[in-house]
Copies of this chain bind each other. A is one copy, B any other.
Amino acid sequence: MKTLTEYLWFETAQRRELVRLTDTVAQLVKKAGVKEGMALISAMHITAGVFVNDDESGLFEDIWKWLEHLAPRGDYEHHKTGEDNGDAHLKSLLVHHQVIVPITRAQLDLGPWQQIFYAEFDGQRRKRVIVKIMGE
Q: How far is the CA of A71 from the CA of B93 in the complex (A)?
A: 14
Q: Which 5 A-B pairs have the closest CB atoms?
A: A44-B111, A58-B77, A102-B132, A3-B36, A59-B78
Q: How far is the CA of A80 from the CA of B63 in the complex (A)?
A: 15
Number of copies: 3
Query: A84 at the A/B interface (Cβ < 8 Å)?
Result: no
Query: A28 at the A/B interface (Cβ < 8 Å)?
Result: no
Query: A128 at the A/B interface (Cβ < 8 Å)?
Result: yes
| Contact status A135-B134, CB under 8 Å | yes
The residues in A between 81 and 104 inclusive whose CB is less than 8 angstroms from any CB of B are 81, 86, 89-90, 92-102, 104
| Contact status A92-B46, CB under 8 Å | no
